[in-house]
Amino acid sequence: MSYYQAWHRRVGPNNSFKPNLLRYGKGMAGKACHAFASTTQVGLTQALGCLESPLQSEYRFELLDGCLCKVDTATGQTIARHEPIGTSIVQAFPVGSNVVVREDYYEFPRGQSNVYCLADNFDLVWSAELPWQNDVYANPVIPTPEGFLSCASWDGMSCTLNPETGRILKKVFTK
């Protein structure tokens, strides 16, 4: 079984998800991974399913309250937490030993990429090249069978990204 096939056999989304906005926040300790909140959607773990890498079984990644958490598979304890750069994290999936992340494009700081790659310790590996200077990636990042990443931007560019560098390999205007 290829890596691509193994990744797509993960736990699927739960169609019963009905997003609601968390409009306040307070500090809470514990493995629930709550620390700070603002206007963000809650319940993303249910919506996106488990993000367990087929290459690493000692931990998995979960999206909790717009943040990416690394969770010990055996104990369920949060090992590490990555706060979003600009908005909230809406997509994350493993690529090799790294994690590709997409943050919500709405109100994301222009001129910065809302798609980036993190090492398993959450150090930044790369930020995806933008097709235009003030563009953002509005649609989900999709791993292709050829091993690349595909994503469309708000300004109508369909891009193929190199998963090792985040550089655009091909871009096509689609609007």
Q: Check residue 91 and give its pLDDT.
A: 96
Please give the DSSP secondary-structure letter assigned to residue 50.
-
Q: Which residue has the higher pLDDT, 162 or 18?
A: 162
Average pLDDT of the residues in 41-60: 53
Q: Check residue 106 and give its pLDDT.
A: 94
Q: Check residue 50 and give its pLDDT.
A: 52
Q: Which residue has the higher pLDDT, 56 or 108?
A: 108
For 48, the 3-state DSSP assignment is helix
pTM higher than the cut 0.85: no
**Could you give all domains of the chain from N- to C-terminal order, each with its CATH number?**
40-134 (2.40.10.480)
Radius of gyration of the chain (CA): 16
Q: Could you give the count of Cα atoms lying within 13 Å of 168 in the half-sphere of its Cβ? A: 16
| Cα angle, residue 66 at apex, residues 46 and 131 outer, rounded to 5° | 115
Q: Check residue 51 and give its pLDDT.
A: 53
Q: Does residue 21 carry a pLDDT above 70?
A: no
Q: How many residues does the chain have?
A: 175
Q: State pLDDT tens for residues 25-44.
A: 434 444 444 333 333 344 44
Q: State pLDDT tens for residues 134-173.
A: 999 999 999 999 999 999 999 999 999 999 999 999 999 9
Dihedrals phi, psi of 70, to nearest 5 degrees: -100, 120
Q: Does residue 112 carry a pLDDT above 60?
A: yes
What are the Cα distances from residue 61, in Å, to 42, 64, 111, 169, 173? 16, 10, 28, 28, 33
Among 30-44, 72-86, 111-125, the range scoring the smallest mean pLDDT is 30-44
The separation between CA 79 and the C-alpha centre of its own chain, rounded to angstroms, equals: 17
Average pLDDT, the chain: 78
Question: What is the torsional sign of CA 21, 105, 14, 50?
Answer: negative
- Cβ(71)–Cβ(99) under 8 Å? no
